Copies of this chain bind each other. A is one copy, B any other.
């Protein structure tokens, strides 16, 4: 694997910061911010993309605009340690699960989920427990102060 972050200069960091803030920023806008020409910016952005520093572009969706008003962390623990532990695969089809991590803590996995309501969370937890044969411990999110911030080297 190539050391992709090596040789990231201040201009590259500016470009990445700008593209995180606005993934559809035009090359002309990026040129204005950095003081470079459009084509210089273009080749730098392409280099960032091919190095994998910029892995892609995505629309930011507001979950509350869909009525998904409740989000929570759900920590899960397999109930039967003798069974093969394939919880992530068994849960992948559940759309309400936005993220799935395995962790080194008291529990085995942490899920990040979004639902409409407390009632919907109850249903989701039952679905999770039966799909993966796990115990769940939920932590409701009250307020998101900030999220998805990026910090560059």
Contact = CB atoms under 8 A, between A and B. Distances in A.
Contact of A61 (B20, B88, B105, B140): B20
Nearest to A104: B140
A106 to B, nearest CB: 8
Looking at chain A, what size class is its interface with the partner chain?
35 or more
Interface in A95-153: 95-105, 110, 112, 114, 139-153
27 contacts: A16-B59, A16-B61, A19-B59, A20-B61, A22-B58, A53-B61, A54-B60, A57-B58, A57-B60, A58-B148, A66-B152, A67-B153, A73-B73, A73-B103, A88-B146, A92-B145, A98-B150, A99-B144, A99-B149, A101-B143, A101-B144, A102-B141, A102-B142, A103-B139, A110-B139, A110-B141, A114-B151
